[in-house]
Amino acid sequence: MIFSRKRAGSGRHARDERAAESRVGPDTDESTASAPARGPYDISEVSDDVQRLDLGSLHIPAVPGVEVRVQADPQGVVQQVVLVHGENALQLGVFAAPRSDGIWDEVRDEIRQSLFNDGAAAQEVSGEYGTELRARVRTPDGITDLRFIGVDGPRWMVRGVYQGVAAVDPAAAGPLAECLDGLVVDRGQEAKPVREPLPLRLPKEVAAQHQAQAAAQDADGSAEA
């Protein structure tokens, strides 16, 4: 894992279909029957022994060849999570949602409008997780393709943004898609406003190392001044 210091249909419909795929018969255990065939999963749906990086609200499975890049503030609060494999990247975010309805449809409309306001056209396409949004935007590094996916879960929504070849060819996502399929969300029981980002944090041992590095950098800066 690499971290950096930060200075001073709908997804629900697709998820319901995946849940139905996991029901194998009348003797299936109820908890197993309600779990989707693949993730992102709610923490209540998981009982496997897969090794995952615990970032608080997101637990990211360890997949060979995938680098987890985390940007955090000096207190260890995670601001951004990006998974990288070769030339492809997947940025992840997780947000609070209502108990009854998914929010990906509304969020997707807002993303499309925001892209339009910035002069970028976006197109809705059908994908494995329901309706996706694809766009081509201008960045300081040139034209970049983006693919936005959303998955509505119980009181949460995961948003993913693919970059690289995986943004235009889902089959190229490979290990990044495997990470998404094994992702676990720990929503917690605390009431939160709809669409508020769920808290992400560095693991304790990494947070301690991060804070020590931040303190050392501050000390060096004070000494130079």
Q: Would you state the pLDDT for residue 181?
A: 96
Sheet holding 58-61, edge to edge: 41-42, 184-185, 58-61, 52-54
Q: What is the DSSP letter of 190?
A: S
Q: What is the DSSP string of 80-100?
A: EEEEEETTEEEEEEEEE--SS
State the pLDDT at residue 7: 37
Q: Can you tell me the distance from the alpha carbon of 181 to that of 98, in angstroms, rounded to the nearest whole number?
A: 22
SS3 state of residue 169: coil
59 pLDDT tier (thresholds 50, 70, 90): very high
Task: Give CA–CA dist 51/35, Å, rounded.
Answer: 19
pLDDT tens for 4-51 read 433 335 454 455 554 444 444 444 444 444 667 889 999 999 988 899
Q: Can you list the domains of the chain with their CATH numbers?
A: 41-202 (3.40.1000)
The reply to whether omega before 40 is within 30° of 0 (cis) is yes
C-alpha torsion sign, points 55, 5, 198, 60: negative
Are 9 and 131 spatial neighbours (Cβ–Cβ below 8 Å)? yes
